């Protein structure tokens, strides 16, 4: 429901987000599970959180050398699509053994 309230009259496209996420795979993994110790997992994160973070990187409000370059050219629609893709990936959490 939150995504609809934030969108600008168009629904997020999970498939388009999945395609666009190819550029994120090197650090965040093909399915949003990070392959690098300094990059967070994105799979299962709330869409609103991912949208906010990408927009902050894009504007320079949040700073990271790599993410600034990656986020700068993204449109609001592409950010919504990426957020929808990562939010759609189911995550299962268990108790430590």
Per-residue pLDDT of 22-47, as tens digits, reads 999 999 999 999 989 999 999 999 99
Taking 60 as the threshold, does the pLDDT of residue 3 lie above it? no
Residue 24 is assigned to a structural domain of this protein: yes
In the chain, count of helices (H) and strands (E)? Answer: 6, 0
Residue 32 contacts residue 41 (beta carbons within 8 Å)? yes
User: Which pLDDT score, from 0 to 100, does residue 97 have?
Assistant: 87
Taking 70 as the threshold, does the pLDDT of residue 5 lie above it? no
Q: What is the CATH number of the domain that holds 32?
A: 1.10.760.10
pLDDT per residue as tens digits for the range 54-94:
999 999 999 999 999 999 999 999 999 999 999 999 999 89
User: Which pLDDT score, from 0 to 100, does residue 35 have?
Assistant: 87
Residue 20 contacts residue 34 (beta carbons within 8 Å)? no
Residue 7 is assigned to a structural domain of this protein: no
Number of structural domains (the chain) is 1
Residue 1 is assigned to a structural domain of this protein: no
User: Which pLDDT score, from 0 to 100, does residue 93 have?
Assistant: 87
Residue 95 is assigned to a structural domain of this protein: no
Domain of 84 in residue numbering reads as 12-88
C-alpha 13/C-alpha 4 separation (Å) is 12
For residue 36 the two structure tokens come to 């690098």
Residue 2 is assigned to a structural domain of this protein: no
Residue 3 is assigned to a structural domain of this protein: no
Q: Among 45, 71, 65, 51, which Cα is nearest to 8's? A: 51
């Amino acid at each position: 429901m939150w995504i609809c309230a934030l969108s600008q009259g168009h629904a997020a496209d999970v498939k388009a987000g999945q395609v666009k996420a190819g550029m994120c795979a090197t650090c965040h993994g093909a399915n949003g599970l990070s392959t690098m110790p300094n990059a967070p997992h994105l799979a299962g994160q709330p869409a609103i959180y991912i949208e906010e973070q990408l927009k902050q990187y894009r504007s320079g409000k949040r700073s990271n050398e790599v993410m600034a370059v990656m986020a700068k050219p993204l449109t609001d629609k592409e950010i919504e699509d990426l957020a929808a893709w990562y939010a759609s990936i189911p995550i299962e959490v268990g108790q430590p053994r």
